[in-house]
């Protein structure tokens, strides 16, 4: 196995000089750096990161914890996070919690034991605060994305849930809808809670009564909304909704599929809008009115904030970045008789 001593001998420099080149020290002339790097490439030398980590106490490995790898939103988040990490000289480890607090906890224990430098995380739910405290106890910086946790002060990159929800509901109201249902995720998740509250507030602002039987709860993973749709369709005609607000992309997609199975015409009999879209989906997405989030930027900006915390260049005050969504009005909510 090639060692730094082999590199030093062939380059006619000291082992310390080789070490400085590997660790990108500025105390090396450009000529010497290029000479050593050429020998490293020639001998196909791979640095021993484990040994170096014992000295620097840094692994140059970051962890991304997402709630559902199957969700295209988080696929784009991961792409942005990886791109930024690589740009800054870090590698990225991907973890998937499946919106399960216990699974998330096991991953946290693993990340702590392996010495991850920092964690970018979309928490499973409000209970994840316990896991964040565990990271703090072990001195591991973290940044929240997509979801917040009550009474937890930290850097965050979040969606503008209030404004985006209001715009979607007001679009439906302008289309003449007064009976608007919501199919939401669990309210123990901040995004579900904030979209729910914005839904209620928007209806009240426009003088539309809030009706409990029009509010259904599912979850944010690829779930079956058949029961929720069936319950809405079974309502008396004067109580039945004419529009549905789906609070994430999977709920929106499955709402469209279920309405189709029930031979409900969209948007003539039921309009549908969704928070977030599904890129490259082949059936419902091209006709579904959505609020498209800049998913890539959640990962890219989140990693930037995290590395600044790790390297001590971040301001003392925690930062909250709120990213707007872009509304795409499509056939699922645009009824033209």
On average, the pLDDT of the chain sits at: 91
pLDDT digits (tens, 9 = 90+) for 2-27: 788 888 899 999 988 988 888 777 77
What pLDDT shows up at residue 135?
Answer: 95
Q: What domains can you pick out in the chain, each with its CATH number?
A: 4-47 (1.10.260.40), 60-159+294-324 (3.40.50.2300), 161-293 (3.40.50.2300)
* Residue 47 confidence (pLDDT): 66
* pTM for this entry: 0.82
Reduced 3-state DSSP string for the chain: CCCHHHHHHHHCCCHHHHHHHHCCCCCCCHHHHHHHHHHHHHCCCCCCHHHHHHHHCCCCEEEEEECCCCCHHHHHHHHHHHHHHHHCCCEEEEEECCCCHHHHHHHHHHHHHHCCCEEEECCCCHHHHHHHHHHHHCCCCEEEECCCCCCCCCCEEEECHHHHHHHHHHHHHHCCCCCEEEEECCCCCHHHHHHHHHHHHHHHHCCCCCCHHHEEECCCCCCCCHHHHHHHHCCCCCCCCCEEEECCHHHHHHHHHHHHHCCCCCCCCCEEEEECCCCCCCCCHHHCEEEECCHHHHHHHHHHHHHHHHCCCCCCCCCEEEECCEEECCCCCCCCC
pLDDT in tens, 199-250: 999 999 999 999 999 999 998 987 789 999 999 999 999 999 999 999 999 9
Sorting pLDDT into bands at 50, 70 and 90, what band is 285? low
């Amino acid at each position: 196995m090639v060692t730094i001593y082999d590199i030093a001998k062939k380059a006619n420099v000291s082992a310390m000089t080789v070490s400085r080149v590997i660790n990108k020290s500025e105390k090396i002339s450009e000529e010497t750096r290029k000479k050593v790097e050429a020998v490293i490439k020639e001998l196909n030398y791979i640095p021993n990161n484990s040994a170096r980590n014992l000295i620097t106490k840094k692994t140059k490995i970051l962890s991304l914890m997402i709630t559902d790898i199957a969700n295209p939103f988080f696929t784009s988040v991961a792409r942005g996070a990886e791109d930024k990490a690589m740009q800054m000289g870090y590698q990225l480890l991907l973890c998937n919690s499946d919106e399960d607090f216990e699974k998330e906890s096991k991953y946290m224990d693993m990340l702590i034991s392996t010495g991850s430098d920092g964690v970018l995380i979309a928490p499973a739910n409000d209970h994840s605060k316990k896991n964040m405290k565990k990271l703090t106890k072990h001195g591991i910086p973290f940044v929240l994305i997509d979801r917040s946790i009550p009474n937890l002060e930290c850097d965050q990159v979040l969606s503008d849930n209030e404004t985006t929800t209001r715009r979607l509901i007001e679009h439906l109201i302008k289309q003449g809808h007064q009976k608007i249902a919501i199919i939401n995720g669990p309210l123990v998740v901040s995004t579900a809670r904030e979209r729910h509250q914005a839904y209620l507030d928007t209806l009240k602002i426009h003088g539309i009564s809030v009706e409990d039987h029009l509010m259904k709860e599912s979850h944010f993973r690829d779930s079956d909304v058949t029961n929720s749709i069936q319950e809405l369709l079974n309502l008396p005609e004067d109580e039945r909704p004419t529009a549905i607000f789906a609070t994430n992309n999977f709920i929106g997609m499955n709402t469209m599929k279920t309405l189709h199975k029930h031979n409900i015409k969209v948007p003539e009999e039921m309009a549908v809008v969704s928070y977030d879209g599904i890129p490259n989906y082949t059936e419902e997405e091209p006709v579904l009115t959505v609020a498209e989030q800049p998913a890539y930027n959640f990962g890219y900006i989140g990693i930037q904030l995290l590395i600044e915390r790790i390297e001590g260049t971040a301001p003392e005050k925690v930062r909250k970045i709120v990213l707007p969504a872009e509304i795409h009005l499509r056939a699922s909510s645009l009824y033209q008789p």
